[in-house]
Homo-oligomer: A and B are copies of this chain.
Amino acid sequence: MAYYENVGKVAYEGSQSQNPFAFKFYNADEVVMGKKMSEHLKFAMAYWHTLTAEGSDPFGATTAVRPWHSYSGIDLAKARVEAGFEFMDKMGLEYFCFHDIDITPEGSSLKEFFANIDTIVDLIESNMKSSGKKLLWNTANMFTNPRFVHGAASTCNADVYAHAAAQIKKGLEVGKRLGGENYVFWGGREGYMSLLNTDMKLEQDNIARMFHMAVDYAKEIGFDAQFLIEPKPKEPTKHQYDFDAATTISFLQKYDLAKHFKLNLEANHATLAGHTFEHELRVARINGMLGSLDANQGDMLLGWDTDEFPVNVYDATLTLYEVLQNDGLGKGGINFDAKVRRDSFEADDLFLAHIAGMDTYAKGLKVAAKLIEDRAFEKVIEERYSSFSEGIGADVVAGKTTLASLAEYAMNNETPRANKSGRQEHLQSILNQYIYG
């Protein structure tokens, strides 16, 4: 049975196509820098945005028109699985991601919840087998249920902490069963609403304890997924502990967790933290922590997580530039943590939005690859820092200098090297030429 009757398989038709339901730039089998686009771009469907959420916002009820609206309860959960695999198939998405509560109702007890999960995971597993689709990552939602009002691993209520541990344990087991390539932690309530009532140190210590237990349990059950933390600075809480890449790295270093985790970085979370996405990617990359991407974009004039589909080719280019410089994402991929606007409420919009995002990333990939193949920026950077490859600069890098030796050099250096222009505007022109030329 088809849930999405209006749309068939979405195919590549090229940049001049007038067919709304065709790719203009994403050509899965096209080879870029020696690999297929589809290998570079391990796109994943976000279960929650595509199958669960339906367009409510803080001032408005749901608007979405969806083909499963005649179902409820566990039948609804099953219908969503089927619709999801149909969607992935038609869109050519090879991966998906989910939170535990996305796939099934929680029921009235942990036992019931886990039983529901098992039922749906059975169905997911059989769909995976028949379709070849893969699990990029799963995670436990520990922020929606009222029990997590004060946090999960950072809660002030030890019983809630135990509940969170049970959910994570189940999540790891599900991940292992479905062959998940990664496992994600996003601490939506791991932060504070007010410092006046918060023991920040105990909360962070407890989060670290939970992470160590998760690492141990994954090892115990032989689940070798890459663990990922997804930073976000705020929303829903006033302040989340995993504020950004650097903050999360400092936490992982402090608690001796850095070797077990990488980062799942999201574009909109980056900008909410005051950074460009490429900044966050660069910080992760030079620290060996770049794990996976949540692809979306924010609105720079809005102060909340708008989770828009990525449609900006500049951003996509600079994103994939970092990914290519990182030799790809390893086990990671590119999850569309993006939702259709509330006023794009028809099922067709789900396709149109994913096409928009996939085309944007495809275009960005090709531009980034060309920039790297031509060493367009690398040549400039190599030349720019060349004074550290010889003489006193090489001594600095080799650790052979002291303040005294450098001071002596400086005092006696009658013709210091002149600075040269950083040429930012010209580099931006070159970027435009690569994108539009």
Contact = CB atoms under 8 A, between A and B. Distances in A.
Interface centre among A287, A305, A353, A428 (most CB of B within 10 A): A428
A40 interface: no
A393 B198 CA distance: 17
A433 B143 contact: no
Interface stretch (A60-68, A70-78, A82-90, A326-334): A60-68
Given A15-B436, A356-B429, A422-B150, A235 B302 contact: yes
A11 interface: no
B377 A196 contact: yes
B385 A145 contact: no
A132 interface: no
A315 to B, nearest CB: 10
A302 B303 CA distance: 7
B300 A303 contact: no
Nearest to A357: B425
Interface in A145-171: 145-150, 156-163, 165-166, 168-170
Contacts of A410: 110, 159, 162-163, 165-166
A344 B428 contact: no
Contacts of A31: none
B271 A301 contact: yes
Contacts of A282: 195, 200
A311 B158 contact: no
B431 A196 contact: yes
Interface in A226-247: 233-236, 238-239, 243-244, 246-247
Interface centre among A235, A250, A377, A402 (most CB of B within 10 A): A250
A396 B206 CA distance: 8
A435 interface: yes
A428 B147 CA distance: 24
A324 interface: no
A421 B345 contact: yes
Contact of A359 (B235, B301, B341, B432): B432
Given A253-B250, A273-B274, A396-B206, A343 B422 contact: yes
B59 A235 contact: yes
A346 B422 CA distance: 9
Interface in A377-426: 377, 380-381, 384-385, 387-388, 391-393, 396-397, 399, 401-404, 406-407, 409-411, 413, 416-417, 419-426
Interface stretch (A120-128, A212-220, A259-267): A212-220
A421 B6 CA distance: 15
A299 interface: yes
B274 A419 contact: no
7 contacts: A24-B432, A61-B146, A162-B410, A172-B403, A238-B302, A303-B303, A313-B435
- Closest 9 pairs between A and B when the two form their complex, measured CB to CB: A303-B303, A158-B393, A250-B250, A165-B406, A166-B407, A300-B300, A343-B422, A159-B416, A158-B387
Given A159-B417, A165-B406, A165-B410, 5 more contacts: A24-B429, A166-B411, A213-B402, A271-B301, A300-B301
